[in-house]
Structure 1
């Protein structure tokens, strides 16, 4: 495909939309060759199918589809940690702010050359989830839909997660005091911080909703002498956590239950921890979620809600198409302000809020390092497309936390009574840097 002047069409389109020269090298099957030939990062569109992926879903979704199908290839970055290529694209690529008319004129020659198939996407990767509207039509029952979404994300392979997450099996933001901290040190510090904020005392009852593989439950029982009920919708997480509890000799204190948190009938818990569950709830369900947790606590009890948030609510709560189709089906994120407001509307009194944004960037870097170091095992365990998805997701998320598009907030609240009794929450400031 060339222009009347002989320039390849892809090359013509790329140079037409850039404000500055390409900071990497891009080649394509049609003879396109732009960018420095000695660039550290080099990308190639292998065939017409790869180009059609990019045309039919401009942005992250099209790039992911082409990469996952091998029709977009590259060198100069690790598949387990493609952070460098994301950083280059997001920080150094300068694209013109084209209107619809100008964008159409740039793409018109390519569309004309490809014909009617130009805007018909090639076969989708098998691991891609259905569009959100199709998922909702297929599963009208919200609890059934939630179970499917959790299973899609977490029931990949416990062996895969063991390699990526490390011995803690904690798939939530760790807490780093220094960049030189190990992942395990930082995860243990996170569990201890949650326990401190909840003021866990021997003999108390803790409800840990969305307990994952049981890391917080085991820490609370082992270090604080607390009785814990942990619930997770992931069967593989529950089975792994139940085995870990037995191996730790904590069956008398910890129960890991394969269950929707909404099926918990017990009440009167002293404390509730929710670490990484809110992202799956859906913003419109926040009120019901916090109201339910409020109902599980005794008067004066505490809630620690730890979750990813957006910087603000000016954008949609829904994730980018790649994340929605490949990582967190039905996941949504709101601002910390929305979280705090919903807590108060459900009857809580928020006592403390802390943003651990940069700690999450370090956590993601450590997970990518683990994936890269165990790449062959992870590919053998979960398959190449899934391993690639995790590399894309974690490296892209690291950049989002570094740049401040995403935050991680720990919100501590008390079930304060109508007469102002907050369970003896202490005077003074706490957990300051």
Structure 2
């Protein structure tokens, strides 16, 4: 960059930031030049700004345009994914070449081809001078953003009942109509299983429920507890096959929709979905428990109490199927990034599958099988993005444009993460052995893949 090639007196390592801000040779950069200084000259997308500046190839497929000073303040005051999300969700950063409901191609390019540079002290001083101190002061975020972690203490301690309820309601109580457009008729918000890449979303979700049902060995007359049951898809699938099911969810909207669906399908005598914390289910002696997409919200430090509770709810010989997103390594932080934590899953935590298996064993279970379905989740997210883009106007009407933008960004980014093995999806099948050690399972896997 022209301004960053000039020399200054003294060693940058010995200069303080206030000294650097007074160096007369430092020029003022345009907004696009600041972007170039941080992201490099080989940016695969084009960036333009309201000050008329531009950076990146003119022929680029994607153009990111910063429309306003408010967007600049979002970017400057929270560098990284949080600032980008704020500017994008608020509409201050607009993108051409990618539908807001399906920005996958852009997310893939940014993730794989863009590396953030760490500016030298002189470069940092130039950037700060160019942006101006006023743009480094945070302003109110878009209304879709959840409170930062430190402010959530007012809702209770981390993973207390009240705080968990607030986090679940933030994400799941958008509107049932919104979810119907994105998830499709199955209203299933978890990883599907695909026979081929061309399998429809509905068939893949039906196959996932069949896989869980068969792994658990459910038969007519059995009793199933489905914790974190969402809109009751698993409960209704099992009930149609003669299983008696209790489901629990902390989302009132989910519970109401699920009970209506149960009534429409004539399953009231076998299925019930309660607006309840799973810990408040008094019944026990279940033949099986399904936990599909709940462990992410439990908290890593609560795994042991969680699995011990589930163990206590099963009869001897009963089975547990735990299906959840995981980290590829225990060396990665269990906490979600700022964008996911503030806009999508507040307080969510992920661990590697080995940690889960250890905790399940230590709770008294015997693990019999596990498998990684991360490619299947990438395909599921592909289809959710397609639904969101196809029903964009309806989704905006059912929520608001900022919320719809959050979802487009989150789904596309998650798809990229599953494809590049930044996150995984593991199903773990475990059994509560009898007092004599009998696991009551066949010698070889008994379910169809």
1:337 alignment counterpart: 354
Distance across 2 between alignment mates of 1:428 and 1:395: 38
Give the C-alpha shift of residue 5 in structure 1: 9.2
The equivalent of 1:232 in structure 2 is 249
Task: Single out whichever of 187-196 and 15-24 deviates more from structure 2.
Answer: 15-24
| Partner residue of 1:87 out of 103, 108, 115 | 108
1:313 is paired with a residue whose SS is coil
Q: Separation in 1 of the partners of 2:313 and 2:252?
A: 23
Aligned partner of 1:123 among 140, 143, 149: 140
SS in 2 for 1:14: helix
| 1:7-26 equivalent positions in 2, closer than 5 A | 8-18=29-39, 21-26=42-47
Q: 2:426 aligns with which of 385, 397, 409?
A: 409
CA offsets 1:361-414 (integer angstroms, 9 cap, x no match): 000010010000000011011001111111011000000001111101000000
CA contact (8 A) 1:13 1:107 kept: no
Q: Does 2:446 correspond to 1:425? A: no
Picking from 178, 200, 205, the partner of 1:160 is: 178
Which of the numbers 22, 33, 47 marks the counterpart of 2:68? 47
Quote how far apart the aligned CAs of 1:277 are: 0.6
Tell me, in whole angstroms, the C-alpha distance in 2 between the residues paired with 1:95 and 1:266.
53
- Choose which of 325, 341, 346 in structure 2 pairs with 1:308: 325
Find 1:28's aligned residue among 49, 64, 86: 49
Is 1:278 matched with 2:295?
Answer: yes
CA–CA distance in 2 between the matches of 1:61 and 1:115?
Answer: 20
How many Å separate the matches in 2 of 1:35 and 1:64?
A: 21
Q: Are 2:250 and 2:275, in contact at CA under 8 Å, matched by a contact in 1? A: yes
Matching residue of 1:199? 217
Q: In the alignment, is the contact (CA less than 8 A) between 2:46 and 2:62 conserved in 1?
A: yes
Structure 1 residue runs of 5 or longer lacking an equivalent are: none
Q: Distance in 2 between matches of 1:193 and 1:60?
A: 36
In the other structure, the counterpart of 1:174 is 192
Q: How does 1:48-63 map to 2 (within 5 A)?
A: 48-63=69-84
Is residue 2:209 matched to residue 1:209? no
SS, match of residue 30 in structure 1:
coil
Whole-Å separation in 2 of the counterparts to 1:251 and 1:331 = 33
Task: Give yes or no for contact 2:26–2:126 (8 Å, CA) kept in 1.
Answer: no
Give 1:184's aligned residue: 202
Which residue is equivalent to 1:67? 88
**Local SS of the residue matching 1:43:** strand
Question: Deviation at 1:6?
Answer: 7.6
Q: CA deviation at 1:7?
A: 7.5
Equivalent residue, structure 2, for 1:394: 411
Gaps of 5+ in 2: 4-24
**Map 1:102-117 → 2, pairs under 5 A:** 102-117=119-134
Structure 1 length-normalised TM: 0.94
Displacement of 1:32 in angstroms is: 2.2
Q: 1:356 aligns with which of 373, 383, 389?
A: 373
Where 1:408 maps in the other structure, the secondary structure is strand
- Tell whether the 8 Å contact from 1:10 to 1:110 is kept in structure 2 after alignment: no
Q: Counterparts of 1:85 and 1:49 in 2: how far apart (Å)?
A: 23
Superposition CA RMSD, Å:
1.8
Contact 1:13/1:106 (<8 A) preserved: no
Once residues 399 and 383 of structure 2 are traced to their aligned partners in structure 1, the CA distance between those partners, rounded to angstroms, is 19
